[in-house]
Amino acid sequence: MSDSDFLSKLISDYPQFSFKSGKKFKFRPKKTIFYVSKSPNFKPLLLHELSHALLGHFSFETSLERLQIERDAWQKTSELCALYSIPFSEDFFTEELDSYRDWLHKKTLCRVCGLSCIELSSTSLYCPKCQKIYSKISTPSKHHS
Ligand SMILES: [Zn+2]
Ligand SMILES: [Zn+2]
């Protein structure tokens, strides 16, 4: 099945969501799924965003929750891949999760001393060495979300 046929199939199977072409694969609550045409991993990434939508991943507070959400979404993605007979690469999934973990980790490093900070909330970090509270910088992810 071609990528565009697959997209049409999902659109008819999941009329509750709207699928739109975008700059990266992304689920925007509550019902918009963005996809990138001509991506080499179009099908699994599209199913991944669909997983976020189906699981109702509308918000997250901390990096740990975020990572758990990603893990759940990949689990659901593997189920959907089986359902649609799409080959699901365990390696691809592990790499995606690892790069995600790295990205989240870098976001929590103290910008003065480089130490890993404690997350106080979704917007603030505390560095135990500098004994200072920082507001989190929101760095855009290269990664899909
Ligand atoms: Zn520090
Ligand atoms: Zn995700």
Residue 83 in domain: yes
Residue 129 in domain: no
Q: Which amino acid is at 58?
A: F
Residue 135 in domain: no
pLDDT band at 76 (very low <50, low <70, confident <90, very high): very high
Q: How far is the CA of 121 from the centre of ligand 1 (A)?
A: 17
Ligand number, closest to the Cα atom of 45: 2
Residue 136 in domain: no
Note if the bond before 43 is cis, omega within 30 degrees.
no
Total-model pTM:
0.82
What's the number of domains the chain is made of? 1
Place of tokens 């699994």: 44
Residue 115 in domain: no
Residue 133 in domain: no
Residue 95 in domain: yes
Ion ligand 1 contact residues with beta carbon within 5 A: 110, 112-113, 115, 127, 129-130
Domain hosting 22: range is: 3-109
The per-residue pLDDT for range 2-54, each reduced to its tens digit, is 999 999 999 999 999 999 999 999 999 989 999 999 898 999 999 999 999 99
Q: How far is the CA of 44 from the centre of ligand 2 (A)?
A: 11
The per-residue pLDDT for range 78-136, each reduced to its tens digit, is 999 999 999 888 888 888 888 888 888 888 899 899 999 998 987 899 999 999 999 88
